[in-house]
Structure 1
Amino acid sequence: MSVTYIVDDQDPAIEYLCPVQHQTVRDNYLHNTYTTIDSVDCGGGWFKYTFNGTSVRVSNRLKPVDARYAVQVDISPMLQRSGNGVYESPELADGSEHSIVYAIGNQSFFPAFDYLTVTAGQSTQLRGRTIIVDDADPAMEYSGNWRNEPITPPAMNFDYTSSPYRDTTHWSNTVGDSVNFTFEGTSVTVYGIIPASNATIPNRNLTATYSIDDGQRNSLSLSPGSTEGRPIAMTELLRSGELAAGKHTMVFTVTDIPNLSLSGVGIDFVTYNASFDNLSSIGAGTPSTAGAISDGHIPVWKPVLGAVLGLLALLVAGLLGSLYWRKRKQSKAQAKATSKVFVVRALKDHNIVNEKDGKAGSLTPDV
């Protein structure tokens, strides 16, 4: 089972290595924020993130789309790349701590770092992290006439702002279409895309409802995008917080699609705050004690069993401790311990290597 968590550009775990500007905007970015460089010094290192996982993906949009930037993963060389700024690492060793350093020193490229995601490994600590689930994930159960593309192509024209997560979206313009999502966490948020409105027709909001665990149906009214033909990505369609830790099911249902929006509403991804520790504990949870005690008294055999198990645990711990002490003593007598120290070299622009030919590269702006 693959689980991915998301980290916003404003998260304190992101370490910025050079002068930057934190920007707050109205739309088209996660949490309506992004971070850009404020100095050419960022060519030696813009930001760094340390994590435990099996891969990392950076959502950073550059203009033009063939811009030069550089990435260093762990202690590998810092490799110069070209493209639109989005970077995805190769598969990384599970169970180890990793780091990524992203660099770009040309301010004319208008870099806009929005968020990064990490694919969890078996030992990645997930409780409290924000898990992200793409609209194309099998966990998203669609009912009705959902499509993978909008009816009107301009609905996906995002220039160089944050485009849909993983470049996929599910669209609906049919009343009654719904999506079910089951998760194990303490909150859930659905993000989507609202297409541009039609200036020649009076604005009407798209409407929908959602419920959690077959509870109360909550009404949603979603304003259309701008009249300039620009859709609104990263739109928070719904948020439900302060849920009890454990498994929940969210149902989102379309109730009205105005004529001004032929593409309807687009589901991009879902996030939730995990209430499980790691991959192996998903679904395990803490069993409910409701109904376990019927008369207000604890059965007599439970304390006795607990005492016996406790005594056995102490005996086993003592035996293992003795064996460990003997083995360590023998190892010290046989050989001296040695250690290796890995030193990460200073990040400098002239240490960048071109990914394609292995030659020295640079992020210094062209003159």
Structure 2
Amino acid sequence: MSPSILVDDADPARFYTVGFHWSTTTNSDSFFNRTVTVCHTEYRNTSTVPKLEFNFYGSDLHFYGPPVTNDIFVNYTIDKSSVRPANLNKNANSALKTGVNIWNLSGLDQQYHSVDIFPVNGLFSFDYFTYTPNRLSPLVGRNLLLDDNDPLLQYSSEWTKTNADTLQGAVVAHQNTLSGTNRTGSTLKFNFVGAAVSVYGALNQQAGRLSASFSVDNGTPTSFSPFDGTQTPNPSSWKPNERFFHQDLTPGNHTLLVTLQDASGSQMLWLDSVVYEGSSGTKLNSTTTSTGGGTTTTGTSSSSSKPFNSATIGGIIAAVVVLAVMGFCFRFWRRFARNFHSTGGDSHQYGNTTFVPPRAPTPQLAPVIYMVSSPRHPAPAPPPPPPMPHNPWSYEQQVYPAMPVSHPSGQPHISRQEPTFWQPSSTTPRQPDISPPVNSPAPHSQDLDGNLNNSAPRRSQDAGPADLPPAYEPRLYIP
């Protein structure tokens, strides 16, 4: 059995209402978490239609609250379909009860649904509603409700299951069942994965004392003693939906233990439901079991494990062989494609030798002429750069080329032409200084044959144009 997700009317983060017709009352006895929400349809001086909207993944939606009287009418839509009347549970026998099942919406598929509820007349009230989750339903932070008859709750042998209608007085219970015991030492154990846990039950004002303890993970027990024996007995007085215990926990695996400490007279401990908050490890149809080596998680499943037979083993072997052959073919194709692209697709392979057809001869380029200078024929000096324009208003440096200096022909010399920088003044610009040529003969030089010569250094000169290569003759090239 899967737990139901519970949405309390005091948790507006899970649903929202439209219109000022809605109001929530706190500190109301016999209601879940002591709150109940009412829609006042008698407020009609507004164009806003009261509405309650709720979206969820799951099925089987159930609303609980005060009994529905004959003057209450509600319409609804499911998944934005047409408006239709809600078939409310109007039971005269539950007129004195609280927290009854007032409306059900069953037969939904396991998908996403959107429900809009439109109260039309009367005081429509609800306490909480539940829905059955599926694998798409988020569980983190949700309140998961287990009825007292859920098999995940492990009772000792002293507990009895009772239909609430058979009890004296107007008592209501979730799914109309209660589990009770009056045997001291009776226990209830619940293993779960979550972040909080609460225990709810019903109190009957009988004569005698009632005391129970609650602990989580073998921690310090919390005592709950609603009756000490001084109360006035009234067997018809019931308080349903009473929270006996609550504790916030670190998300993870936990174990709840409930123990009856004392039940004298006619008192009994009546449990109705257990609610725990889901965490990241919470799963549907799952619980935790304690073993000698620690705590492990187990779950129910519709399919059982079966041993492998010969057909299964043969199929696995065949699949492995097919995959191996496919892998070999793929590697062979990769190698062939790589060799094909590496040779450009133009070569032909014979055995281990690759023959590449000869390429056409490279066309002869124009001859390159190298200029060699000699001391007899000095190389012409490059033309001087054009003079830069003069701007008397500019403060940038002006660069003037050096003026050429005449010298006897045939005499080796070395001229250094250095630019002269001129800073403009407020008056007429000054002519640039002309640096005389500087002749700095080297102490010795080396001729073309590699012999030392102490004479003045010789300047290299142009050797003239080089001989042109012979004309191209195709017969001179061997293909």
TM-score in terms of structure 1 length: 0.65
Whether 1:234 and 2:241 are equivalent positions in the alignment is: yes
- Cross-structure match for 2:435: none
Q: Cα 1:129–1:180, aligned 2, differ >3 Å: closer, same or farther? A: same
Cα distance in 2, alignment partners of residues 182 and 63 from structure 1:
37
1:207-246 → structure 2 map (5 Å cutoff): 207-223=211-227, 229-241=236-248, 243-246=249-252
Whether 1:86 and 2:88 are equivalent positions in the alignment is: no
Cα-to-partner distance string for 1:114-141 (whole Å, 9 max, x where unaligned): 0111211111111111111111110011
- Cross-structure match for 1:293: none
| Letter of the 1:235 counterpart | E
SS at the partner of 2:175? helix
1:324-343 → structure 2 map (5 Å cutoff): none
- Cross-structure match for 2:133: 120
- Cross-structure match for 1:358: none
SS at the partner of 2:134? coil
- Cross-structure match for 1:102: 117
| Letter of the 2:202 counterpart | I
- Contact kept? 2:80, 2:115, Cα under 8 Å: no
Bigger-Rg structure (1/2): 2
- Cross-structure match for 2:32: 30
1:134-145 → structure 2 map (5 Å cutoff): 134-145=147-158
Whether 1:17 and 2:18 are equivalent positions in the alignment is: yes
Cα distance in 1, alignment partners of residues 261 and 36 from structure 2:
33
The partner residue of 1:252 within 255, 258, 267 is 258
| Letter of the 1:143 counterpart | S
> What runs of 5+ residues in structure 2 fail to find an aligned partner?
91-100, 289-293, 295-479
Cα-to-partner distance string for 1:299-321 (whole Å, 9 max, x where unaligned): xxxxxxxxxxxxxxxxxxxxxxx
| Letter of the 2:253 counterpart | K
The alpha carbon displacement at 1:38 in A equals 1.7
Cα distance in 2, alignment partners of residues 151 and 166 from structure 1:
9
Task: Name whichever structure is richer in helix by fraction.
Answer: 1
Q: Cα 1:16–1:156, aligned 2, differ >3 Å: closer, same or farther? A: farther
Cα-to-partner distance string for 1:251-271 (whole Å, 9 max, x where unaligned): 10111113153xx12111011
1:57-76 → structure 2 map (5 Å cutoff): 57-64=62-69, 68-76=73-81
CA RMSD after TM alignment = 3.1
Q: Cα 1:153–1:196, aligned 2, differ >3 Å: closer, same or farther? A: farther
- Contact kept? 1:134, 1:270, Cα under 8 Å: yes
The alpha carbon displacement at 1:230 in A equals 2.0
1:161-200 → structure 2 map (5 Å cutoff): 163-198=172-207
| Letter of the 2:280 counterpart | F
Cα-to-partner distance string for 1:226-276 (whole Å, 9 max, x where unaligned): 8663200111111121x2211111110111113153xx1211101111113
Q: Cα 1:122–1:23, aligned 2, differ >3 Å: closer, same or farther? A: same
SS at the partner of 2:151? coil
Report sequence identity in percent.
23
Q: Cα 1:150–1:100, aligned 2, differ >3 Å: closer, same or farther? A: closer
The alpha carbon displacement at 1:215 in A equals 3.0
SS at the partner of 1:186? strand
| Letter of the 1:39 counterpart | T
More relative contact order, 1 or 2 (CA 8 Å, 6+ apart): 1
SS at the partner of 2:161? coil
Cα distance in 2, alignment partners of residues 266 and 178 from structure 1:
12
| Letter of the 2:205 counterpart | A
- Contact kept? 1:66, 1:82, Cα under 8 Å: no
SS at the partner of 2:62? strand
The alpha carbon displacement at 1:184 in A equals 0.5
Cα-to-partner distance string for 1:145-188 (whole Å, 9 max, x where unaligned): 22222799455514xxxx31121111112222211111101111
- Contact kept? 1:213, 1:249, Cα under 8 Å: yes
- Contact kept? 1:125, 1:277, Cα under 8 Å: no
